Amino acid sequence: MKRRTVLAGIAGTAAASLAPPALAQQDTFGSKELIAAAEKEGGLTYYTANFAETEQEVIKEFNKRFPKIKVSMVRAPGGQLITRIKTEAAAGKLGADVVDHSDRGLMKELEDLFQDYAPPNAADYRPDALVSPKLWPGVTLGWAIAYNTSLVKNAPKTWMDLTKPEYKNKMIGQVVAPSGGTTWTRTMFERQVLGEDYWKKQAALGIAMYPSGAPLSDALVRGEVSIAPLLYNIIYTKIVDGAPAEAIFAPEGVPIIPYADGIPKTSKSPNAAKLFMNWRLSKEGQAFQIAKLGNITSLKEPPAFPKGWDPTVVKVWVPNFEQFEKLRAPWVEEWNKTYGYRQ
Amino acid sequence: MTATSVEALPAVTEVRRPSRRLAAPLWVTALLLILTFLVIYPLLMLVFGAVSDSNPVIDGFGKFNPSLTHFIAVLGNENVRLAFFNALMACGGGTILAVVIGLAFSWIVVRTNTPFKGFIAGASMIPLFVPPLVAGVAWSILGSPKTGLLNTALKWMGIDFRFDFYSMSGLILVFGFYYAPYVYMFTASALRNMDPSLEEASEVSGASAFTTIFTVTFPLIAPAILAGSLLSFVVMLGIYGVPAALGAPANISVLTTYIFKLTAWSPPLYNTAAAVAILLMFVTAILVWAQQRVLSGRSFATVAGKAFRPRSLNLGPWRWFTFSLALVYLFVVVVLPTIALVIAAFRRFLFFKDFDAVFDMKAYSWVHFNSIFDNPLTMMSIWNTMKVGFITAVIGGLLAFAIGYTINRTHVAGRKSIDLLSTIPVAIPGLVVGVAYLWAWIGLPGGLYGTIWILALAFVARFIPDTVKALSTSFMQIHKELEEAAWVCGRGLLGTIWTIMLPLARPGIVASMTLLFVLAVRELGSSLFLYTSDTTVMAVLLLDYYEGGNIGKTAAFSLVQTVILVVLLGFTTWLSRGAAEGAGRAG
C-alpha cells in the first residue's frame, strides 16, 4: 500500500510538472488547425504489438486531453501483426491509422507503407533509437532484473550476479532468445557487454526457459522461478499492485527497445493519427508511460525516471542496428545450443 | 399417417423422377461449390504457401516460385521429428484415456440406474467448454512441481509424494480428462438410440452383463467410439493451449507449439509453418482413411421402426460404486480446476507461502472482475462472440445436415468427394488456417473483410468435419426402412427429410449445433487474423489477458466465458429434451 502511494505520488508530480500551460499546448501536440482537423475526423484505428491493457491506459490518458477522438485498437502478437499488416496493405485494405511495433527490423522493411512524419519535438530524440525518419519510438522498453521478495534472501544487484552458483537449479528463469526482437536485444547485450562466456556460465546453473516475458513474470510472482530478467513494464504494474516482487536496474547497463511507430500512407484519419503520435511522443506522453506503465524513454533528456533508476549510475544500452540485423541468426543459434533450447 | 393405396404408387414415382434426375446433380454441384469456396480455395493458398517463398496476396500468383525448401527443412529438422513424436505420444495416450473415461461415463449415464444421472451428465460436459489455454493454466496452478496447489496441500499434510504435471504424463492426463466429453457425446447418443433387444437376446442366451457390454453393446456402437476417438485425437493434435502451459516448462514441444513458434517469431515463418501443417494433414488423412476402411461395408443401423425404451441396468448396491466413480471424475475434472480458477480469479496474486495462505481471506477480492468489466472491449467481445457463435451454429448446422444427409442417405454421384472435402479442415491447425483464410478471402469484392460474417464463415469452414461427423452418427443409426416407409406413403424427398429425418435426428442436430457454438466461442487461431477493432471476440481478448501475464484476469474472464457456455448448455439440454419428448409423442 505504502509503495503504491509513493509511486502514485511520483507519477502525480511528474505529470503535474510536465502539464504544459494552455497556450503552449497547441505547439506541444500540434497546431490549432491540426487539432481541429483531428477532432473533425473523430477517431483512428491503432494497430499495436504491445500489451492490450497497457495500450488501453495510454488511450485513456490521451482521451483526457483529447476526448473527442476515439481510438479503436487492434492488438496481435508481433509476428502475426506484421503478417496482417502486409496482407491488408497488399489487398488495399490496411485498416491502421497508426502502427506500433516492437521489431524495428521488420518495420524498416515496411518503410514504404508509411508517410513522412516527425513529431514537433523530433530533435529531442536519441538518433540511435531511430531506424527510419518515418518511424518513431512512441514506446521504449528496458530490461530489469526482477526477483520474488518472499523467496530470494540475497537479491542480485548486477547482471553478473546472475551467473552465481547460489542461484542454481532453475531459480533463474529466462525468455528464450528466438522469441523476438526484445529478447534478442537482451541476449546481444549479454554477449557484447557482459562477456563472450556469460551465456555459458549462466546456462551451467540450469535455467528455466519461457516462451515469452508475460508468462515468465507470472511465474516469478507465483514462485515458479525466483529471479528473472524481465522487461520492466511487465513486472512494474504487478509490483505497484502489491505482488511479492521487486525489480532493479543493473549498473552494467539497461538494454532498451525503442519501438518503431508510424502512420501508413493509406490512413483515413491522418490528422487524428498525427495528433495521437505527437501526444505519445511528447514529454507528457512519455512521462505518463514512465510513471504509470513502467516504460523507459528514448528522449535524450528523460522527463522522469523509473523507481530505483539512478541516472548517475545506470547507463542505457541501445543495440547497433546493423549488428542487430547481421548477428541475429548465428548468435541466436549459438544461444539455443548453449542453453539446450530445441528450436 | 394416411394409408396409401398400391395403385397410387406408380403415379407418384413418375411425377418425381424427372425433377429428381435434374435435382441430384444440381444439388451435388451446389454442395461442391460451397465446399470448394470454404475448403479447397483456402487450402490451395496453404499449399501454395508451403511450396513457395511468397505470400499469395502480396506477391500475387504470378510470382509463384516453386520451392521445396520448406518441406526439406521441415523433414530434415530433428526438432520437428521430436515434436511430431511427442504429439503422437501425448495425443495417443490422451485418446486412450478419453475413450476409457468417455465410454464408461456414457454407459453409466445411459444404461444404468446410477443415482443423479441428469446431474452427472450435465456436469461431465463442462470440460468441453473450457478453452484449452484455461485448462492448461488451471492444471499448472494445481500440478506444478514447485508451486502447485496439490503439492502445497501434500506438503501441509506431511506426505512426501509430489505431482508433476509439467511432463508427458501430465499432458496425457489433461488431454484425456478434457477430451473425454467428445467420446462421451458420440457414444452416449449411440447408446441412447440403440435397441436394447439385442442386449436382452445376449443375456437370454446366458451371457453375463459384463460379457454383453463387451461383445454386444460396445461393438454395436463401434462407429460412435471410432468417430469419437478419431475426432478427439485429431482435435488434440491441433490444441495449442494445453501443451503451451504444461509442456513448455519441461521443454516438451509438440507440433502445434512448434507451429505457434514459427508464426509468432519475428520474422514469422508462415511458409515453414504451412509445410508443418501439411505434414499434420497427412497424418490425419491416414487416420480418416483407416477409419473409413474399418467401417466400410458394415451396417450399424440400430434405430429401427420398432418402438423401444432405452434399457436401464439395475446395478443394485453397485450403483453407489458407479456413482462414486462419477463423483471422483467430476471432482478431478470439474471441481479441482474450477477451484484453481476461482482462487486465481479472486486472489490478487497467486503466491502461496504455505497451504494456510490459501485461506487468508484478505488476499481475495473482486479486483480482477472489476478490471475486466471496466474494459469496454469485454462487453463488446461477449456480444460479438454470441453473434458469431449463433450465425456459425445456424449456417454450419444447416450445411452439415445437408452434407451429412447427402453422404449417408443418398447414392448420388459425387457424394464421396463431398465426404472427402468436408473432412479435410479437421487436419489443418487453427493458427495456420487463419492465415489461409486471410489470404483467400481478403481480396473478395464486397465488404466481407472486417465484419463478423468473415469470422463466422471461417468457423463454419473450420468445423464442418466436427459437425458432419457428429451428425453422421445419428444418420447412420436411423434405419433406411423409416424413410422407405415415408416414400411408400407418398412423401417426396424433402417431405421425408422434414417428417422423418429431422425429428429423429433432432437430438443429434441440436448437439451438433451446440458443439459448433462452443467451438466457435473457443476458436482463437483463425480469429486472430480476421478480427478487427469492432469485431473483437472473447478468445482474442482471453489471449490478450494471458499474453499480458495476468493470470488473475485470465482466470476471471475464463470463468465469465464458462458461465455463459454453461447457461447455453442448460438451454440446449432443455431444447433437446423437449425434442425427445416431442418425438416420443409422435411415435
The answer to whether position B302 is within a domain reads no
Domain co-membership, A109 together with A218: no
Grid cell at residue B28: 451435388
- Residue A300 makes CB contacts below 8 A (sequence gap 6+) with A124, A125, A126
Q: What angle do CA A172, A176, A178 make, to 5 degrees?
A: 165
Burial per residue of B409-441, b for 16 or more beta-carbon CB atoms within 10 angstroms, e otherwise: beebeebeebbbbbbbbbbbbbbbbbbbbbbbb
Residue B400 lies in a domain: yes
- On whether residue A46 sits in a domain, the answer given is yes
What is the rounded CA–CA span in Å between residue A120 and residue A126? Answer: 14
Asked whether the predicted pLDDT for residue A44 surpasses 90, the reply is yes
CATH code of the domain covering residue B426 = 1.10.3720.10
Count of structural domains, chain A: 2
CB of B69 within 8 Å of a chain A CB? The answer is: no
pLDDT value of residue B8: 40
Is B267's Cβ below 8 Å from some Cβ in A? yes
CB contact under 8 A, A80 and B264: yes
CB–CB contact B549 A56 (8 Å): no
Residues A122 and A183 in one domain: no
Across-strand partners of A209? A174
Question: For residue A15, is pLDDT > 50?
Answer: no
Note whether A11 and A148 are same-domain residues: no
Chain A touched by B294 (CB under 8 Å): no
Identify the residue whose cell numbers are 514441444.
B253
Please say whether the beta carbons of B344 and B136 come within 8 A: no
DSSP percent split of chain A into helix, strand, coil, nearest 5: 50, 15, 35
Burial category of B328 from C-beta neighbours within 10 Å (exposed 0-12, middle 13-18, buried 19 and up) = exposed
Q: What residue in A sits closest to B553 (Cα-Cα)? A: A53
Q: Which three cell numbers mark A83?
A: 503478417
Tens of pLDDT along chain B (587 residues) come to 344 444 444 444 444 455 556 777 888 899 999 999 888 888 888 888 777 776 666 666 555 667 777 778 777 888 888 888 999 999 999 999 999 999 988 888 888 888 888 878 877 777 777 778 888 889 988 998 888 899 999 988 888 888 999 999 999 999 999 888 888 877 887 887 777 787 888 878 888 777 888 888 888 888 788 878 887 887 788 788 889 888 887 888 888 888 777 776 666 777 777 788 787 777 777 877 777 676 665 545 555 555 556 667 777 788 888 889 888 888 888 889 889 999 999 988 888 878 888 888 888 889 899 988 888 888 999 999 999 999 999 999 999 988 988 888 777 888 888 888 887 787 676 666 777 887 788 777 767 777 888 889 899 998 888 788 778 777 766 777 777 777 777 777 777 777 777 777 777 788 888 888 888 888 877 787 788 777 889 988 887 788 777 788 888 998 898 888 878 877 877 776 665 554 433 33
Mutate one of B137, B146, B266, B442 to test the A interface: name it (highest A CB count within 10 A): B266
pLDDT at B330: 84
- Asked, for residue B531, whether it belongs to a domain, the answer is yes
A134 or B432, which is more confident: A134
User: Are B378 and B351 in a shared domain?
Assistant: no
Q: Do A79 and B267 touch (CB under 8 A)?
A: yes
Flag whether A80 is in a domain: yes
Which of A80, A105, A243 minimises the CB distance to B349? Answer: A243
Given A74, A242, A340, which is nearest B533 (Cβ)?
Answer: A74
Q: Are residues A124 and A264 in the same domain?
A: yes
* Partner residue facing A342 (CB), from B251, B270, B545: B251
Give the span between the Cα atoms of B516 and B164, in whole angstroms: 34
CB A175 within 8 A of CB A213: yes
How many Å lie between the alpha carbon of B19 and the closest alpha carbon of chain A?
Answer: 44
Is B242:B174 a contact under the CB 8 Å cutoff? yes
Q: Is the pTM of this model over 0.90?
A: no
User: HSE-up of B115 (CA within 13 Å, CB side)?
Assistant: 9
Q: How far does the CA of residue B528 sit from the closest CA of chain A (Å)? A: 7
Between positions 38 and 67 of A, the ones with CB within 8 A of B are 45, 51-54, 56
Which residues in chain A have their CB less than 8 angstroms from residue B375's CB? Answer: 53, 56
How many residues belong to chain A? Answer: 343
Q: Which residues, 6 or more positions from A131, have their beta carbon under 8 angstroms from its beta carbon?
A: A104, A105, A107, A108, A260, A321
* Cα B452-B458-B459 angle, rounded to 5 deg: 90
**A45 → closest Cβ in B144, B438, B533:** B533
Using the beta-carbon criterion (under 8 Å), do B529 and A84 form an inter-chain contact?
A: yes
**Predicted confidence (pLDDT) per residue in A141-187, tens digit:** 999 999 999 999 999 999 999 999 999 988 999 998 888 888 999 99
Alpha-carbon distance of B49 to B273, in angstroms, equals 9
pLDDT tens digits along B234-258: 778 878 888 988 888 788 888 888 8
B445 close to A (CB below 8 A): no
pLDDT tens digits along B346-359 = 988 888 878 888 88
Q: Is A125 helix (H, G, I), strand (E, B) or coil?
A: strand
Kindly report whether the peptide bond that precedes residue B267 is cis, defined as omega within 30 degrees of 0.
yes
Residue A85's SS3 state is: helix
Q: Is B459 on the interface with A (CB under 8 A)?
A: no
**What pLDDT does B536 receive?**
85
Domain harbouring A322, CATH code: 3.40.190.10
Closest CA to B538 of B514, B562, B515: B562
pLDDT attached to residue A18: 47
User: Strand, helix or coil at B109?
Assistant: helix
The verdict on B251 touching A (C-beta cutoff 8 Å) is yes
Claim to verify: residue A133 and residue A171 sit in the same structural domain: no
State the pLDDT at residue B308: 58
> Chain A contact for B46, CB < 8 A?
no
ipTM of the complex: 0.72
Those residues whose C-beta lies under 8 Å from the C-beta of residue B338, and which sit 6 or more positions away, are B138
Q: Which of A340, A248, A240, A237 is nearest to A295 (CA)?
A: A237
Of the residues A74, A83, A103, the best mutation for testing chain B's interface (the one with the most B CB atoms within 10 Å of its CB) is A83
Chain B segment 357-396 residues within 8 A of A by beta carbon are 375, 377
Q: Are residues B248 and B132 in the same domain?
A: yes
Is the CB of B249 inside 8 Å of chain A's CB atoms? yes
Chain A contact for B414 (CB, 8 A cutoff): no
CA distance B55 to A79: 14
For B170-217, give the secondary structure using H, E and C.
HHHHHHHHHHHHHHHHHHHHHHHCCCCHHHHHHHHCCCCHHHHHHHHH
Per residue in A254-298, pLDDT (tens digit) is: 999 999 999 999 999 999 999 999 999 999 999 999 999 999 999
Handedness of CA B503, B507, B511, B517 (dihedral sign): positive
Tell whether B571 and B434 lie within a shared domain. yes
Q: Do B533 and A73 touch (CB under 8 A)?
A: yes
Give a yes or no: residue B58 inside a domain: no
Q: In whole angstroms, give the CA distance from residue A7 to residue B81.
A: 50
Same domain, residue pair A194 and A321: yes
CA distance B554 to B133: 10
Which residue from A minimizes the CA distance to B253? A342
**Does residue B398 sit in the same domain as residue B291?**
no
Chain-chain contact of B266 with A221 (C-beta, under 8 angstroms): no
B493 lies in which domain range? 1-51+373-587
Domain hosting A190: range is: 141-256+310-339
Q: What's the DSSP call for residue B335?
A: I
Q: Residue B379 contacts by C-beta under 8 Å, 6 or more apart in sequence?
A: B373
